Amino acid sequence: MNFKSIFKFTKTTEKLMKKVQEKPLPQHVAIIMDGNGRWAQKKGLPREIGHRYGSEALKEIVKMSVKLDLKYLTLFAFSTENWNRPQKEINALMDLLIEYLQEELEELDKNNIKINVLGDISKFPIHVQKEVNYAIEKTFDNDGLKLNIALNYGGRDDILRAVKNIVKDIELGVLSIGDINEKNFNKYLYTADMPDPDLLIRTSGEYRISNFLLYQMAYTELWFSRPNLLWPDFNQRDFLKAILDYQGRQRRFGGLK
């Protein structure tokens, strides 16, 4: 079943989508999917249940991204700081990642979506690494939506990793100090050859970027939801409203209009 054939729009969603499609769309949308645990706790449920419902919200946003023909969607799924969470919650997140890939991979592949990982997954359990690498390999040749999943990712770690690899290449004679510029530096980041995010969406009303794509978001437009909108409740209409808000802004990149 193709994503483009399974949309059941409300009139509001359809109207919003048409309005969004009248103006230039962002090439690259990044999302901090925040609030799963708090959503569950408010309902008296274990935090792990919140992550499961958050996974369902994610599916709807991926579908809408395909419908809008977005080029890049980057999701902050597991940060370098998330290792500080209880082991039970970490295990649940790993299980949910595997479950998502196993259940959705065929559909993602059919819809020409390419899966890419930002971050160092070598610290993940071997069986998790295998599932992630299989998804990357299976969708490698797809040229539709680039679905970037940030796993064990941190913005500072991304920059430090780039610096270390640049130093290594200078020592090997592959690169000279004079070659180091913004364009070449970008090639050493996890997002090499990708445009910087045009729009960052964060749910739950937190007003920070939490060590996510620090270098890449120099001129990204930021959209923060109202405090009571937690990720499991974020839907396609909310996604469209965020894009519509982005389309109403003037992006000057330090210059004039």
- Catalytic residue numbers? 34, 82
In angstroms, the CA 255 to CA 8 distance is 42
Which H helix or E strand runs over 73? Answer: strand 72-79
Contacts of 191 (CB under 8 A, 6+ apart): 74, 118, 148, 213, 216
CA distance 71 to 113: 10
Task: Give ∠ CA 217-218-221 in degrees, rounded to 5.
Answer: 65
| Strand partners of residue 23 | none
Q: Exposure pattern of 46-83 as b/e (b: 16+ CB <10 Å)?
A: ebbbbbbbbbebbebbbbbbbebebbbbbbbbbbbebe
Q: DSSP readout, 213-256? A: STTTTTTPEEEE--TT--GGG--HHHHHHHHHHHHTS---TTS-
Residues contacting residue 35 through CB under 8 Å, at least 6 positions apart: 50, 54, 203, 204, 229, 230, 231, 232
